Amino acid sequence: AEKEGDLVGFISGYIPPQQPETVFVWQVAVHEKGRGQGLAKRMLKDIVGRDACKDVTHMETTITEDNEASWALFRSFARDMGAELTYHEHFKKETHFGGQHDSEFLLRIGPFTKPV
Residue at 116 is within a domain? no
Tell me the C-alpha distance between 14 and 37, whole Å: 25
| pTM (predicted TM-score) | 0.84
Give the model's pLDDT for residue 68: 93
Residue 22 resides in a domain: yes
Residue 76 inside a domain? The answer is: yes
**Number of structural domains in the chain:** 1
Assign residue 56 the CATH number of its domain.
3.40.630.30
DSSP helix/strand/coil, 2: strand
Average pLDDT over residues 2-16: 89
Q: Stretch 21-44: mean pLDDT, rounded?
A: 91
User: What's the confidence (pLDDT) of residue 5?
Assistant: 83
pLDDT, mean over the chain: 87
What is the structure's pLDDT at 80? Answer: 95
Please report the DSSP string for 39-62 in residue order.
HHHHHHHHHHTSGGGTT--EEEEE
Q: Which structural domain range is residue 85 located in?
A: 2-109
114 in a structural domain: no
Model confidence pLDDT, tens digit, residues 78-104: 999 999 999 977 656 556 556 565 678
pLDDT digits (tens, 9 = 90+) for 60-76: 999 998 899 999 999 99
108 beta partners: 60, 86
At residue 104, the pLDDT reads: 84
E strand residue ranges, the chain? 2-3, 6-7, 9-14, 22-30, 58-64, 85-91, 104-109
